[in-house]
Amino acid sequence: MPVSCEKDVINLLTEIRRKMPEYHYAEGDGEAAFATEQNALVALGAERYYRSMVQSGPGSWNIRDNHMVDTLERLMKHLPNAKGIVWEHNTHIGDARATDMAAAGMVNVGQVVRQAHKAEDVVTLGFGSFWGDVIAGLSWDAPMQQMRVPEARPASWESVFHAALGRDSLLIFNETGDLEPLFQQTRGHRAIGVVYNPEHERYGNYVPTALSRRYDAFIYLDETHALHPLHLTPETTIEPPETYPWTV
C-alpha cells in the first residue's frame, strides 16, 4: 500500500487555519478564507477516502457521507440564518437506520443530520417510481445512457403505491393518521443512482426500508421520464461523457 500523505495534508490544514485571520483581513468578507480551508478539508477527506477504498467494509462510504455533513455544517455556520437543500440519491438522504445499511455498519447524510439537529429543523424527502426511463451507467465509469426501468418488483413500496394510488403523489408521513403502521412496515424500495442495471431487478436493486422512518415525506412518480443532462440536448449525436464516479 502506498505511503499515506495524511500527515502532510493535516500539516497543510493546520497552517491554513493558523493564517485564517490574515486571510479574513486580506479578503474582507472571509469568502476566500472559507474556500481555502474547505479545499484543504477536501484534500484530507479524499486522502482518507481513497485509502479506505482498498479495504473491505463500510469505511469509505462512511467517510464520504460524514465529509458531506461536515461541509454542510460549515456552510450553515458560514452563512448564518441560511437554509440548505441537499440533493442526493435516496441511499444518502434517507435515514440509514430504517434500512439494512445500519446492520452493515453504514451511516449516511440523512441519519447524521437528523442526529445532530432537532426534528423540526430537518426534512428528508425520498423518491420512487413504478416504471419509466432514467439516465444512468451500467457500472462505475461506464458511459451514461438512457435505460428502461421495468415494473417494480411485487410487494415493493413502488408496487404498493402503483396499485393503491396509480398516479403521481406526495405523502407526508406525519399526516398519514391510521395508515402510519403501514408505512412502518419493511418492504423493498428500489435504488437507482449513478449506477443502475435493469437486469438486476429480480435479485438486487432494492433496499429493505421502513418508509416513514427513513423519510419525512415521499414523492411517488408512477412513471418517470429520463432527463436530458444540462450539457446535452435531445438532438446530441456525439458520444456522451462518462458517468462521473460520485453522487450529486
Which pLDDT value is given to residue 248? Answer: 32
Strand 125-136 relative to strand 217-224, pairing: parallel
Look at residue 1 in the predicted model and tell me its pLDDT: 43
How far CA 229 is from CA of 13, 48, 72, 79, 144, in Å, comes to 35, 31, 25, 30, 10
Taking the model in full, what pTM does it have?
0.79
Strands (E), the chain: 125-136, 145-149, 169-172, 186-190, 206-210, 217-224
Predicted pLDDT of residue 82: 87
d(CA 125, CA 47): 31
pLDDT attached to residue 100: 95
CA 248 to chain centre: 7
- Residue 245 has a pLDDT of 41
Cβ-contact 241, 129 below 8 angstroms? no
Q: Is 56 helix (H, G, I), strand (E, B) or coil?
A: coil
> Would you state the pLDDT for residue 85?
93
Q: What is the pLDDT of residue 54?
A: 65
Q: What pLDDT is attached to residue 8?
A: 65
Which pLDDT belongs to residue 243? Answer: 44
Amino acid letter, 242: E
pLDDT given for residue 172 in this prediction: 95
pLDDT of residue 233: 61
- Residue 184 gets the label, from left (phi > 0), alpha (psi -120 to 50) or beta, of alpha
Residue with cell string 458517468: 243
The structural domains of the chain, ordered by start, are: 6-120 (no CATH), 123-224 (3.40.1660.10)
> Mean pLDDT of residues grouped by 10 in the chain (248 residues)?
58 60 56 76 74 73 92 89 92 96 95 95 96 92 92 97 96 87 95 93 93 97 88 56 42
Q: What pLDDT is stored for residue 160 in this prediction?
A: 97
Distance CA 111, CA 173 (A): 17
What's the pLDDT score for residue 244?
40
